[in-house]
Each structure stands twice: as C-alpha cells, then as structure tokens.
Structure 1
Amino acid sequence: MNLRSIQRVVCLATLIVAVTDLPLFAKIPLHQQIDSLVGVGNEQFEKNASKPADDATFLRRVTLDLTGTIPSVDEVRAFLNDQSTDKRTQLVDRLLASPEHARRLQYFFDTMMMERRRDKYIPAAQWRNYLRTSFSENKPWDVLVHEILSADGTDEKTRPAAKFLLDRELKAEEVTRDLGRVFLGRDLQCAQCHDHPNVNDYLQRHYHGLNAFLNRSYLFKDPKTKKASIGEKAEGLVSFTSVFTKEEGKTAPRMLDLPEIADPPMPKDPYKVKPAKNVRSVPVYSRRLQLANAMTNPTNVAFQQNIVNRLWAMMMGRGLVEPLDMWHADNPPSNPKLLNLLTESLRKNKYNIRLMLREMALTKTYQRSSHVAKDAKIPEETSFSVALLKPLSPEQLAWSMMQATGLTEKTLHSLKAKQSKADAKKGQKKTEDPQWQEEALHDALSRNVTAFVTTFGIVGAQTSQFDASANQALFLRNGLLLQSWLVPSKNNLTARLKKLKTSDQIAEELYLSVFSRHPNKIEKAQVAAYLNETQAQSNQSLQQLVWAALASDEFRFNH
C-alpha cells in the first residue's frame, strides 16, 4: 500500500470517527469507539503512545480499580498462566460481578459525596450499606441520585439516603455549593454574592437557582426522638443583589441555564401538615422534591457529563475536565467528542455505571503501559497515550497491604472455621458464598481500614494528586499495626518466605504477593544480596524485606 492509499484510509477512518451518529459507528462496541476518538487530531499519537501493559500490570491495575485491592498470589499465578485469548475480558466481567466491586464503589462514591465529613445525623455505616446495596443491585446513577436528593429522613427505609442533605444541616452555602460541585461539576461558591470574578460562565443566578430548591426547607429535630429530618414551608422566594454592581435579581428553582421551574398556583390550604411548634411542616407543593427531578432530568446534560467525567478520572487517572468541579468555557474538556460519546452512551444505557466501567476497562487506552515508548516524546497527560500513575486511596492501600501480607487469607480461614463450628449443618456451605466471605472479612477488618483512612484520608474536596505527609511516613515505618502483620504467623507472607530455601524462591513469592508480578534478574540479585548481608532468613530480615516492598513507590501507586 502506497502513501496516498494510507492517507485515504486514515481520512476515511477519521470521517467515520467524526460522525458518531452513523449507524456503522453505532454498531461498533463502545470501548472501540472510545479508542478511535482518543488521539484524533494528533498526528504523532500512535508514534508516542505506549504499548499495551503486560498481563501482570493489567491484572493489578484493573483489580485495584474495580475491587479496591490487589489480587491474591493465587489469582496472579492463575491469570499469568491462563492462555485464553479473551482472559482480560473474562477478568473484567468477573471483577464487576464480584461483591468486592460493590464495596469499591461504596468507598469511591462515599468519598465523592460526603468527602470524609464526620457523622452528624445519619451513621456512616447505614449510609455506606445503602450505597453498597445500591451498587450490588447495579442501581442506575440517576435513580440513586434521585433517592438521595428526595429523601427527607422520616422513613426508616429511606433514611440513610438523606445523609447528603441532613449531615450538611441544610446550610444554604454548603449544600448549594456541593450540589454544584458533586453533581454538576461546577463550583459556584464565588457566585453567591456576585457573578464569578474569574469564571465568566458562573453567574449569580446559577447559584441562587440551585439554592431556590432548598430555601424553603429547614432542619427539624423531633423533640421526642431527637432525630433530624427535613421540614419545609410553602412560601419563600429567592432574590439576590450583586455586591459589585448592585444589580438586583430573583429566580425560581433552576439548573444552571435551564428554564426556571415555576411554582403552581398556591392552593387555599397550602399545607399537608401546617407549621406549629415542634411540628415538621409539610407543604402540598414541595420545591425540594423538584430538586431530584430537575437534577436527573434528561435535559440536564451537566449532570450526565459530570458523572462520566468522574468515572473516566477514576479509571484513567484524570478527568477529561480537570479539576473535576471546575467545568467552564475557559477550562473545556480535553476531548469534547469523546465526552459527547460517553455522555450519549450513559443516556442510551440508562445510567448503567457498571457497563460504563466495563467499556472503559476494555479500551486500549486503559490497558496501555505507564512507561513512555522508546524514542517517544513525553506526552501531555490530556492525551491519554500513556497510562497515568494513580495514588492508592486509603481504603485501597489498607486492603492491598492486608492482601499482600496474607492477613485477609488468614482472617478468612479463621472466620470460616468459626462459622462452620457454630453451624455444623449449614455453616460450611454458607462460608463458600462470596457475598458472605466479603461481608465477614469487611466486618472483621474494618477497624484496620479506619486506621488507614484516619492517617491517609483528606477531609473535604478530593484530589488525584499525591502529597505524602510525615505522619503517613511514620505510620508505614513505625506503626504497630503494619508491623504486626509482618510477624510470621500461620501461612502469612513472612511465614511462607521463611519456609523457602533459596533467595530466588523468596524473591518470586515476595514479588508475586506484593507487586503481582514476577521479579526480574536484577531484583532477584538484590534480594539475594540483601539476604547474604543479613542473617539469611531470620524473622527480622524477612520482615524488613516485606516492609521495604510495601513502603515502595511501586506499591503505593496504581500503574
């Protein structure tokens, strides 16, 4: 094929990609459509793009992203020995169907929506169980958000969903800002008193349009039960004045520049429950309930774009728009066509988060190596031609360390034995259920996770940037918790290493357990040199060897 023919093929492919509504393009699997749009317009993309990641790297990466922990050593060996041509697809589907996936999304969305705030009115355990159950059922994103924004805390069944509003105490500034940031990708805080001074897109009416959904609502505390819930008045308008221009305005509830939602005519008796002392008033028409409808309405494209951008950031290491909550004309998506494709697919597939994550995981873009190709220029992060490093979240770090050291396997073995003993007839069968295993392990080890969250967690807006602190370094270096996992016990990692006879065997078991890959020749030599310099396979030297691996940059990041 000559150069002119190649150019014609490239032009034809570009034309097909550009017109994403063509029937031919629509029949192509979404993950292939994504790959066809990544790099469009960049003539040097293929030259500079990294090669596919090897099986070990992919296994570790996708297991962390979809289940929140590294794979077990047995899972690593099985996957590396598997010769199936579709084993990566099989792996993705298996991970998405696992109980651990629902737990991973519970952690992710809890952090996204509550930003590690302290509990106030709804216990975190109830809220997190609600999230986990929702993701286990693969509840559509618009349905989940509708539940969260419409719950008032009075019904025990739906009370956990009210945490987003109740734990912010319905404070106008806090709730309005977080509605914009978390669900629309726009931080409107600086548009409260005037149009945003630096972002032309963020107007005062946008802020107060969101506020108008809730300005009639208030936090009600039952004098008998002391439980907090949401009450609402039947009247109350929203007006505002710019502190800069003194220009006055007013607005009914609205989503950004979408039409205002007008109140219906006021009925003769506007209340279902009239206001009175120690009584939660309930109006006939609720502006607050319009919030859930307006947020999840198909016309609210910002809501749809925001979630696909956040899911893309979760899988790829950064969003198409960064920061995730600063979406405006001067900070546009790095790939608008790709964003449109993802958004349209979200709508078409009824807000199916699991399906969206599956298609992202199957892309060549996601499966690229994090190493820059030889002789290639270091690419911009926005090109997604190289896999980006992602620091492990506190929860990922905790579960991965417990997995690597053998604590999860040891704990599960103990839990299964205890259950079988307690229920001689059905106990053993029950312990084979993956759901039982995940829940039992989580309950048994949740305090360890809390310790990591306390040390590594950031209260407030989350970031993908890595910034280690002295406390974190001390926790890993001298913390009694981690050190206790390194003491040889039953069949944990240190105990297994102690039973091995050669340095090569030790290096192999260590690297498969901690890094989910085989060691290379240099790494084997380094392990051998270390063991020669120390007291061979003493407990202390092996514990230090495992600790050094766990504290390394390679372990701390998903790559």
Structure 2
Amino acid sequence: MRKAITAGLLVAACTCVSLALLQDAPRAEESTSKSTSTGDSESDLTARIDAEIEKAWKRDGVKPVGQCSDEEFLRRVYLDTVGVPPTYDEAVAFLDSKDKDKRNELIDQLIDDPRFGQNMGDHWTVLLTPRRADALSGANLMAQWFADEFNKDTGFNTIIREIVTADGELVDNPAIVPYFADGQGKKFTDLIGLFSKNLMGVQIQCAECHDHPYDEDLSQKSFQGMAAFLTATQARVDNRVRPSRAYVETNTDGPMKILKAAAMYDKLRPDQKAQVDMYIDYVKPVTLDGKAADTRDPGVWRSKLAAWMIDDDNLQTRLYVANRIWSIAFGSGLLNPVDDFNPLNEASHPELLKFLADDLLQNKWSIKRLYRAMLKSNTYQLAGGQAPKKAERWHFASYPVRPLTSEQFLSSLLLLLDSKQLEKLVKDNRDGAVELAKKQLKEQEAQQKKNGGQYYTYDHATMSRYGDMLNRMEGRWFIARWAAGRYASLSNDDEMNQSEDFTMSIVQALAVMNGQFTN
C-alpha cells in the first residue's frame, strides 16, 4: 500500500511516465546554515496570513475546502521546497509518523535542506537570465550563487545590492550574469528595465520610448532618470581570450564628457548641442519617487540606485519580493501579474501584502522565515482541486492545480534513475563537457602555435576555475537544469522564441515522448 502511495506521488509529479523501481535519490550535503529571525514569532506571521485570507472569505461568502491529506501535503511541500517529490523512504517515514506536529517539522527540515537553495535559485535565475542548453552556461553559475545565498539565508536586500552593483569578471562574480545576453554585454537601458521589473516589480521598460500608457507618474523622463544610474556601467566580452573574458566595469568617461559639455552649453556648436540634448537626460539620475542623486560622480551612481531600492523607506521593493515569494508558494501572487505594480493593478489582499513586506524589513529580509510561515499556514495546506462556490483563484480557498516548472519536471524524472544511471548522466554531460572544453582549449592553443599566430590568449587557469565551479553543483540538479535548457530552447511559435517554461506545447510533448534524454 505504501509503495502504491509513493508511486502515485511520483506519477503526479512526472505526468504519464512509466515507473521503474524507485530508488533513493542521491542527497546533497547537509546544510550548515540554520536560519534565525527577530521581531514577531513566525507563528504570529502564519496566524496573520490565515486571518487576512479568512477576512476575504467571510466578506464574500466563500466556504473554503478542507485540509489536504498527508499524501497531498507531502508531495506539495517537497516540490515547493526542494523541487522534487519525496523518495519512497521519505514518504513512508512521514506517513507512518504519529507526531501531531510532523508537518511543521518537515517544513523546517526541508527549508534547511541544501536543495531548498537550489529550488529557489531555479526560480530566481530564470527571471534574470534565460535557460540555456549549453552545459557551461553562465546561468548555471548564477543559479549556484543564488543557491548558496538562499541556503545561508542571506537577506534578500543584500542579494539585490550584490546584483545591482556587481562588477569584475564572471569567474570571480557570477552575479554579473544578468548583464550579458547572446555573448555580449547588455545596454544600460535594457538593464534598468530588467532590474526594475524583476527586482522591484515595476515595469518601466515601456516608458523608454514614450510615456507609460496608463501610469501617469511613469514618463519617458522617469525611465531616463532611472537608466542614468547605470550610464557608467559597461558589460564587455573580450573574445581575444579563450575562454572569452566576460566582465563588468564602471567607466565614467562618457557621462563626464556630457556633464562637462552641458556646463558650457552656450559655447557649443549646433552639432555639439544636439549631442548634449540627446544624452543629457541619461546623466541626470533620478529615482522613481523623484529624488535626484546627491552626487555628480557617475562612478557611484549604481551603488546609489541599489541603496535606494533596498532603503527602509522604499516599500515597493519589499512588496514585490513578498509577492514573488507568495507566488512561488501558492502559484499566483496577491497581486497579478506578480511583477507589474501600477495604479490600475490592485492587490487582492493589500493589508496582508503590506504586512508581509513589513515583516521582511523587521527580520533582515529573511526568505527562509517568510517562506516557512507561508507553508505552515492553513491556507497553504488546503486541499487541491476545484475551487468552492463563489471563490475566485485570488480567494485562495483551495490549493490550485499548478504545472511543474521545467526543473521540477525533470528532477522528478531523474528520481527514477538508480545511482549508476545518474552518475553516468553527470559524467557524460557535466564532467564530460568540462573536460572537452579543456581539451579543445589545449588543441586550439597548439594549432595557433603551429600556425605562428598570436591573436588569442589561452587562459587555462580560468577554464579550470569554471570547471571547478560547475563541479560544485549537485549532479541531479545540474542535469535537471541542463535538460530544462534543452526543452526551453524548443521553439513554441513561428518566430523561434524560446519557451519561458515547460508548458507541454506540442513540440515539447513530442520531445518528452521521443527525446533521447527522456527515453
């Protein structure tokens, strides 16, 4: 009976896949970090979540469904914390337990599991850089960086600051990955749209060319003022070095020339004035609340932007982070779309969202604390399936049916492998890719010497460091991310756009049924 229950959990996670004998999955190293909190207790936060949700039920005459079964809870909480369903032994241990507090204890255990950071890293990495089929992609380096930070329970304000102020070389600082796309550095105007949307929840990108169509406070000038904070930021790729050297640096020459020219505007020729007029608004950094930077030094503008984004008085960033974390737990936000805060988009439970945002501030922006409190709520532990009468999705009166992310789907499939099969996959596709890259580098250098060329510089030490960084990734996680990149790269339309998620389009479904990886 227990085996049937566990097999059912896996079938639900993997869609219609024939099950082999289930083996225990290889486990990552035990987490060395236990999260701490200050302020109100987590139980108070959980109680407030339920109280605010219940207010809407009573107001709208909604009767929620009952609590989910242990089996349903077990599958749900595993997928939402560590990104995979439980193994047979894990399922039996939980289902056989008579401990009345076993659900809370399991939540604590899973959030302190190193796979929690991996799962959160998957969610956040894809917001800042696309999935890639390349085994040696920078996205994997950033995912590992995110995982480390989440497992240490680094405050999310610190994570935001590290990304917005990131500089140096990729091999030293994976937080620079969002500054690049398609093998080249992004423009500062693209970066500000990315950071504002995915780190603050404000979509300013459409104001680059014109005033926002329905937010009168977001004008083209507003966009230019925000973009100005990144004017001196340059993301570069040096292809004369192998492997290519990707780095971010601050260069104040351009902005300073515009500022100096503007100071003597009346003495300029007409063509020079035209140049100043074109760029002047991009050297006047102003935050969305209308506050100009308190310095004319472009070299510190980026740090000023980061400081403003995570300032105690900037409620917007915390509202967005709380909303994003809520959406990971519940499948949709308290405000939707999750990343589009604007005057016409109202939260379903504004008081709750504000409370969650304030709790972040009072508790060092701890994601572990916030997520634990959400998962321990009665709201999270409602039964799934059809919503009750009068209930909309935003009532959260039942747990929604949700698709798995690409990484969750593939990680679930990987549970079906025994240790030797998984080891071979890792050896062929992670270790093999690293060794092949090292071998090719040596061959290219030898060929250049033979031909008497001197154009490329070959950096074997950096290549080894990249290999070491990728080898730090737990094997199952690496394979899931690598395979997810392959499926995401499958075209979903005539424009050859990358699919943002594993949506089981016709192309993706055929690849699952017939693909070399899944077969």
Deviation of the 1:363 alpha carbon? 0.6
For the 8 Å contact 1:113–1:182, the answer to whether it is kept is yes
Deviation of the 1:189 alpha carbon? 2.1
Q: 2: distance between equivalents of 1:447 and 1:251?
A: 40
Q: Spell out the pairing of 1:1-16 with structure 2 (5 A cutoff).
A: none
> In the alignment, which residue of structure 2 is the partner of 1:170?
186
> In the alignment, which residue of structure 2 is the partner of 1:536?
none
Q: 1: distance between equivalents of 2:74 and 2:123?
A: 20
Matched, 1:61 2:76: yes
> In the alignment, which residue of structure 2 is the partner of 1:179?
195
> 2:52 pairs with 37, 49, 55, which one?
37
Q: Which has the higher contact order (CA 8 A, sep 6+)?
A: 2
When residues 307 and 393 of structure 1 are mapped into structure 2, their CA distance, relative to the original with a 3 A threshold, is same
Q: Spell out the pairing of 1:519-558 with structure 2 (5 A cutoff).
A: none
For the 8 Å contact 2:201–2:340, the answer to whether it is kept is yes
**TM-score, normalised by the number of residues in structure 2:** 0.70
Q: 2: distance between equivalents of 1:319 and 1:148?
A: 24
For the 8 Å contact 2:229–2:302, the answer to whether it is kept is yes
> 2:474 pairs with 435, 439, 442, which one?
439
> In the alignment, which residue of structure 1 is the partner of 2:456?
none
Matched, 1:82 2:97: yes
When residues 56 and 338 of structure 1 are mapped into structure 2, their CA distance, relative to the original with a 3 A threshold, is same
For the 8 Å contact 2:62–2:391, the answer to whether it is kept is no
> In the alignment, which residue of structure 1 is the partner of 2:417?
407
Deviation of the 1:322 alpha carbon? 0.8
> In the alignment, which residue of structure 2 is the partner of 1:123?
138
Matched, 1:262 2:281: no
> 1:99 pairs with 100, 114, 117, which one?
114
Q: Deviations over 1:215-241 (max 9, x none)?
A: 2333345586452332311535699xx
Q: Spell out the pairing of 1:480-559 with structure 2 (5 A cutoff).
A: 480-483=516-519
> In the alignment, which residue of structure 2 is the partner of 1:358?
372
> In the alignment, which residue of structure 1 is the partner of 2:277?
none
SS of the equivalent of 2:381 reads coil
> In the alignment, which residue of structure 1 is the partner of 2:221?
205
Amino acid in the other structure paired with 1:255: T
> In the alignment, which residue of structure 2 is the partner of 1:470?
506
> In the alignment, which residue of structure 2 is the partner of 1:393?
405
Q: Deviations over 1:125-151 (max 9, x none)?
A: 322222222222221111111111112
Q: Deviations over 1:297-356 (max 9, x none)?
A: 222211111111111011011011111222111111111100011000010111111111
Q: 2: distance between equivalents of 1:145 and 1:47?
A: 38
Matched, 1:227 2:239: no
Amino acid in the other structure paired with 1:257: D
Deviation of the 1:120 alpha carbon? 13
Please give the root-mean-square deviation of Cα atoms over the aligned residues, in Å: 3.5
SS of the equivalent of 1:219 reads strand
Amino acid in the other structure paired with 1:56: E
Greater C-alpha radius of gyration:
1
When residues 249 and 139 of structure 1 are mapped into structure 2, their CA distance, relative to the original with a 3 A threshold, is closer
When residues 154 and 480 of structure 1 are mapped into structure 2, their CA distance, relative to the original with a 3 A threshold, is closer
When residues 67 and 149 of structure 1 are mapped into structure 2, their CA distance, relative to the original with a 3 A threshold, is same
Deviation of the 1:105 alpha carbon? 1.2
Deviation of the 1:96 alpha carbon? 0.6
> In the alignment, which residue of structure 1 is the partner of 2:269?
none
When residues 120 and 389 of structure 1 are mapped into structure 2, their CA distance, relative to the original with a 3 A threshold, is closer
Deviation of the 1:50 alpha carbon? 1.2
Bigger mean CA deviation after superposition, 46-55 or 197-206? 197-206
> In the alignment, which residue of structure 1 is the partner of 2:276?
none
Deviation of the 1:357 alpha carbon? 0.7
When residues 451 and 121 of structure 1 are mapped into structure 2, their CA distance, relative to the original with a 3 A threshold, is closer
Q: 2: distance between equivalents of 1:27 and 1:150?
A: 32
When residues 371 and 215 of structure 1 are mapped into structure 2, their CA distance, relative to the original with a 3 A threshold, is same
Amino acid in the other structure paired with 2:414: M
> In the alignment, which residue of structure 1 is the partner of 2:316?
302
Amino acid in the other structure paired with 2:396: F
Q: Deviations over 1:537-558 (max 9, x none)?
A: xxxxxxxxxxxxxxxxxxxxxx
Unaligned runs of 5+ in 2: 1-38, 263-279, 426-470
Q: 1: distance between equivalents of 2:164 and 2:386?
A: 44
Unaligned runs of 5+ in 1: 1-23, 240-247, 267-282, 416-435, 484-559
Deviation of the 1:255 alpha carbon? 2.9
When residues 154 and 111 of structure 1 are mapped into structure 2, their CA distance, relative to the original with a 3 A threshold, is closer
Deviation of the 1:450 alpha carbon? 4.4
Q: 1: distance between equivalents of 2:282 and 2:143?
A: 38
SS of the equivalent of 1:228 reads strand
For the 8 Å contact 2:293–2:301, the answer to whether it is kept is no
Amino acid in the other structure paired with 1:358: R
Q: 2: distance between equivalents of 1:198 and 1:451?
A: 38
Q: 2: distance between equivalents of 1:120 and 1:215?
A: 32
Matched, 1:141 2:156: yes
Identity of counterpart residues, as a percentage? 27
Q: 1: distance between equivalents of 2:199 and 2:354?
A: 17
Q: 1: distance between equivalents of 2:503 and 2:517?
A: 22
> In the alignment, which residue of structure 2 is the partner of 1:339?
353
> In the alignment, which residue of structure 1 is the partner of 2:389?
377
Q: 1: distance between equivalents of 2:171 and 2:413?
A: 37
Q: 2: distance between equivalents of 1:263 and 1:397?
A: 49
> In the alignment, which residue of structure 2 is the partner of 1:192?
208
Q: 1: distance between equivalents of 2:110 and 2:43?
A: 24
Amino acid in the other structure paired with 1:301: L
Q: 2: distance between equivalents of 1:31 and 1:217?
A: 42
What is the aligned residue count?
408
Deviation of the 1:74 alpha carbon? 2.0
Deviation of the 1:39 alpha carbon? 3.3
SS of the equivalent of 1:213 reads helix
Q: 2: distance between equivalents of 1:53 and 1:120?
A: 39
Q: 2: distance between equivalents of 1:27 and 1:97?
A: 15
SS of the equivalent of 2:185 reads coil
When residues 456 and 391 of structure 1 are mapped into structure 2, their CA distance, relative to the original with a 3 A threshold, is farther
Bigger mean CA deviation after superposition, 312-321 or 132-141? 132-141
Q: Deviations over 1:236-260 (max 9, x none)?
A: 5699xxxxxxxx9787323311522
Q: 1: distance between equivalents of 2:135 and 2:472?
A: 31
For the 8 Å contact 1:320–1:333, the answer to whether it is kept is yes
